[in-house]
Structure 1
């Protein structure tokens, strides 16, 4: 069975590869801002799950041509802090403002997951849910923050930080699974795959000796 990751995130791909899977990557083209605007009163967990489901659905037609019995995984992450759900900042000024809010405080990194199992090129089974991880942020000094912003890393990641990159220096601790902060929760994904009849061991490739 072919596992397909509907995400351009190298971090999600790295997590799956380290966990024994080697997914095909199909980048989903969805208007995240429009999807969020269409559900202004949605619960934060529901909101990120809707985005994940949209990403998975966006690649099904492409995948089904060559892999009619594939399982497609979509994910989307956002940070909830002060009751606000924030995604990628995209520019240094926005990232700087985010860090002024986050520094020395606690937020919740939410990741929506959607799994679609194809049978003969059509979606036969689906499962979706979200996972949350509490993140306690350090207080980078001015020089540290400016250097981090200049690296470009926080501009293209949810919440303007990473756990597995340069941003890891500025995370004090977490409550929850670290893979969820990176962008794909292995415990939740295992459960969702089970709901569509896929065992994780069936996705493992040969391990290096």
Structure 2
């Protein structure tokens, strides 16, 4: 079997891969995550996922997974907050609105990179300023695109989700498994 590599330091992505029974090593990489002029959000997340996977690619026979997630409101990419005030402002913007979570997953095998983007619609209920402040004070939003984690305390803000839950967390499992199967590594064959 091939060695599976996750090009990420994200504990959420690692948990998702473990959830589907995969054994892997992590090899985080640093890349420039600046949005290019006039770059659509879907192209942005796909480019970053590909760059991460390619930057982490090493030995022949490795299968390297890269991923990137963006929260998009009315076409604008809402990145990770720079501080508590930024997190609060982002959450206020998301309050009562439907936004998109776009997650790209890329797989590199022997220098060839394949990728896909999964878009999920997430609707927040209306949030009070007090609960936003309480949430920001927990620190949970500070390392997350869009300033919230659906798998954590921020899950209480979500009124509706249309699409892939795992993609909102950070890695679309169905699409990741499909890419691995196409590369000759069906996930179900790793189950014992």
* Matching of residue 83 in structure 1 with residue 75 in structure 2: yes
1:153 aligns with 2:145: no
The answer on 1:31 being equivalent to 2:32 is: yes
Structure 1 contact 127–196 (Cα < 8 Å) conserved: no
CA distance in 2, matches of 1:89, 1:6: 22
Corresponding residue for residue 58 of structure 1: 55
State whether residues 134 and 174 of structure 1, in contact with CA within 8 Å, keep that contact through their aligned partners in structure 2.
Answer: yes
The one of 35, 48, 51 equivalent to 2:45 is 48
Report deviation, 1:127. 0.8
Q: Is 2:87 the partner of 1:101?
A: no
| Residues 161-195 of structure 1 deviation map (CA, whole Å, 9 limit, x = unaligned) | 11111111111110001000000001111222233
Unaligned runs of 5+ in 1: none
Find the aligned partners of 1:90 and 1:191 in 2 and give their Cα distance: 35
| Distance in 2, Cα, partners of 1:133 & 1:48 | 14
Q: How far did 1:139 drift?
A: 2.3
Structure 1 95/134 Cα, relative in aligned 2: closer, same or farther at 3 Å? same
User: Does structure 1 retain, via aligned residues, the 8 Å contact 2:54–2:113?
Assistant: no
Q: What are the Cα deviations for residues 56-108 of structure 1, in whole angstroms up to 9, with x where unaligned?
A: 111113xx2xxx31100000000110220122113111111111110011000
Quick check: 1:103–1:137 contact (8 Å CA) kept in 2?
Answer: yes
Report the counterpart of residue 120 of structure 2 in structure 1. 133
Structure 1-normalised TM-score? 0.86
Matched with 1:168 is 155
SS at 1:133 equivalent: strand
TM-score relative to the length of structure 2: 0.93
> Paired residues, what number?
191
SS of 1:32's equivalent?
coil
Which residue of structure 2 aligns with residue 115 of structure 1? Answer: 107
Query: For residues 162 and 139 of structure 2, what CA distance do their matches in structure 1 show?
Result: 26
The answer to whether the Cα contact below 8 Å between 1:77 and 1:87 also exists between their aligned partners in 2 is no
Structure 2 regions of 5+ residues with no counterpart? none
CA contact (8 A) 2:7 2:56 kept: yes
